[in-house]
Structure 1
Amino acid sequence: MRNKTIVVALGGHALILDSDHRTVSDQYKAVERAAIQLTKIVADGWKLLITHGNGPQIGYILRRSEMALAELHPVPMDYAGADTQGAIGYMLQRAINNEFSRKSMNKTVFSMITQVIVSVNDNAFSEPTKPIGSFMDKNMAEVMGSKYGWIMKEYSTNGWRRVVPSPIPNRIVESSLIMSAMDYSDVVICCGGGGIPVVVDNDGMLRGVEAVVDKDYTSSLIASVVEADVFAITTDVPNVAINYGTEREELLYEIDNLSLRRLYDSGEFPEGSMGPKVNAGLNFVEGADGRKSIITNARLLKQGIEGKAGTIITRTIDN
C-alpha cells in the first residue's frame, strides 16, 4: 500500500511576515517555522510535495535589476524565476533537513528546477495584466518600454508599472522526474513560483518567456499528475469567506465542489486574491473521485489535514 500523498502550496508571502522582516535571514527564519509544521505531516506518514510562491522574492530581484541598469543588463523574467526557485528551494531543503535531524527522523528532501509549458496562443500574451517591478514616472516608463519592449500600465495613484502575461499552465516539463523523485524521497520541492514559463517553438525547442504563471494553478496541475490524495493551499487567512470584508462575512468550513463552483462562477471570489486559490482547489477535486482540497493558513495546516480547520473542499457527483 502506497503512502498517502499531499501537495502543499506555500504562498510566497509565507516567507515574509511583515515589511520589517524582509531580509534573507528573516525569510529563512520564517521557513524554519514552516519546516516544523511540514515535518509533522511527514511524521504522520504522508509523502509530501511542496510548491511555493515567489512574488516578493522575484520583485526584489527585478528591483535590484532596475537599480543596476546603468551598469548591468536587466534580468529576464524567466531567469529571475529560476533564481527564486533555487534560493527558496535551498532554504526549504536546508530547513526541512535540519528539522528532520532535530526530530531524529531518517527522511530525505529533494528540490528541482521546474519548467512549465504555456501556449503561445494564450490570450494572456495579448492582454498582459500581472504587475511586476517598481513604479516609475511617465518619462521613465516610456524609456523602458522603448528600450526593452516592456508593456507599461498607468496606475492612478503611484505612476506607471510594467505588466506581463499570466498564462495558464498546460504541462510540466519535469513531471516524470517529479514522479520518480516521489518514489525515492520523502519530500519533493518543485514548481516554485508556478514554474518557469516556456513555450515550444516550431522546431520543438523550449523557449523561455517573460511571464508569470499562477502558483496555485500549477500546484493543482502537479497534484493531479502525482495522483495526490490531498491538495492544500496556504494563505494569509484561516478560511475562505463569502461576503468578505462586510458585515455579512461568513467563513466556509466544509463545502462540496458544486456549491463552491456556483459561488466562484458568480464572481464571489476576486481574481487578484482568493479566486485563483478557490478555482485551483476545485480543479483538483473535480479531476477524480476521493480527492480533497484544503485552503487555510500555514499555522492551521496540520489541523486542516485532520479535518479540524480551514476550508475543506470535497467532491459531489453531479447527476
Structure 2
Amino acid sequence: MRERVILVVGYDGAELIDIACVTSSLDIANRSGASPPYRVILASPGRRSITCDSGLRLQAEAALERFNSPLDTLLVSGGLGHEQAAASERLVGHVRRLATLARRVASVCTGSTVLAEAGLLTNRRATTHWMYAEQFARRYPDVRVDPEPIYVRDGNIATSGGVTSALDLTLAFIEEDHGAALARGVALGTVAYLQRPGGQAQLSMFVARHTTDDLLVRRITDHVVSHLDGDLGTGALARLGGVSERHLSRMFLNHVGQTPAQYVRRVRTEAAAQLLVSTELPLAAVARRCGLGSTETLRQAFLGRYAVPPSRYRLAHTPVR
C-alpha cells in the first residue's frame, strides 16, 4: 500500500472544525513519519466548493459520483447542513456506494445522519452530537443510539460525537494504523489530551450544570462541583439556597432531571472517573477527594454509573503513556 486514501464527504453547511480536525491531524501524522502516508481528499457532489457553517468556502478535490477507487476510510462530516445532506438522494446514494469500497467508514458529529439515511447504521450502535441524539434516535429507531461516548466503533463503522470529538476519533485511527507512539506524537502536535477514551462522556455534569437558566439551581450546582468533599446533603444545599428541601428537590427535578442527592452522586462519580484516568492516586484517596468517603462507596457508585468497578474502569480507560 503506497498511501491510505481518506475521502472526506463535505456539503454546504458542514462544520469546518469537523473537517479540519481530521485533515490537520492526518497531515501531522504524515509529517511525523506515517508509513504509508495518508492522502486526504475532500469530495462533494459535482466537485462543487462547499460553504461551511462559518461562511468560509472550501474547494472540493473530487466529485462523489466520479470516485471509484478503493478507499482506506470514508468519512462524512457533520454540521448544520446535515439534514439537507441526508435529504439528498444523490449524496446519500454515493455514500452508500463508496462505503462498499472502503475498509473503514466513519462520521463526525451529525454526519451520522447521512450514514443512517444510507442504511449503514442499521442494527448498529452509534453516537452523534448529544444535542441531536434524541431526535436522531426517534428518526432512526433501527439504530442503537448511545448519546454519551465521544466515539463508538461497531465493526468497520465508527461514529463520533460533537465537533472536536473528530480529533479523538482521528487519533484512534492513527493509533490503529501506525501504533501508539505516532498517535501520541500527533496528540502532542495538536496539544490534545493524550488521549480521551472513546467511552468518555461527551457531556459531563461539569458542562451540564450550566444548561439551566435558573440562577439558584446554577449557584447550587456550581457549589457542588467546587466542594465535592464537603457536606452536600440535601439539607445543607437547601440551607445554602435559602429554600426548603422539598422546594429544592422540586427545582432540581424540573431543571436538572434529578434529585439533589442523585445529582451530587453523579458529579462525585464523574469527578472520580476523571481522577482515575488522569492521576495515579490510590482508590482510597480518590474516594476521599471526591466526597465518596470509602473505597466501597466508590465501588458501588461506579457499578451504578459505569457497570464496572473503579479498578477495572481505570485499567480500561487510562491512556497509554
Structure with the higher strand share, 1 or 2: 1
TM-score by length of 1: 0.29
Structure with the higher helix share, 1 or 2: 2
TM-score by length of 2: 0.29
- Which structure ranks higher in relative contact order (CA pairs < 8 Å, sequence separation ≥ 6)? 1
Which structure would you say has the larger Rg? 2
